Structures are given as structure tokens and as C-alpha cells.
């Protein structure tokens, strides 16, 4: 997917589902990034 489209989808998810922001925080804590396109951040996640 094109990065601008992914950014748009991520922003819409935050607006449509307020708990999505917390989910993204948890994903980042565990070493993941994104919502529409999950990717490893390169750093080990917390367990």
C-alpha cells in the first residue's frame, strides 16, 4: 500500500474507534508500528 493511504487509514481508525489509540500504544511497546500495515520496529518488544 502507498504510505499516504496507510496514514489516512490509520488516522480514520483513530477517529472511528477511540480505543485504537491505546492499541497503537500497546503495539509500539511490544515492538510493532502501524495499524493498517503492521511492521516490526527493529527493537525487541516488552513481554
35 burial via Cβ count (<10 Å: 0-12, 13-18, 19+)? buried
Sequential DSSP letters for 31-44: TEE-SSS-EE-SSP
Per-residue confidence (pLDDT) for residue 46, from 0 to 100: 59
Per-residue confidence (pLDDT) for residue 45, from 0 to 100: 61
Q: How far apart are CA 19 and CA 5, in angstroms?
A: 21
CA dihedral (4, 5, 10, 14) positive or negative: positive
Measure the N-to-C terminal CA separation of the chain; round to a whole number of Å: 29
User: Mean pLDDT, 10 residues at a time, over the chain (47 residues)?
Assistant: 85 82 86 79 66
Per-residue confidence (pLDDT) for residue 1, from 0 to 100: 80
Per-residue confidence (pLDDT) for residue 44, from 0 to 100: 63
Amino acid at each position: 500500500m502507498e504510505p499516504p493511504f496507510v496514514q489516512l487509514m490509520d488516522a480514520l481508525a483513530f477517529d472511528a474507534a477511540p480505543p485504537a489509540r491505546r492499541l497503537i500504544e500497546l503495539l509500539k511497546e511490544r515492538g510493532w508500528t502501524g495499524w493498517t500495515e503492521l511492521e516490526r520496529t527493529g527493537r525487541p518488544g516488552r513481554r
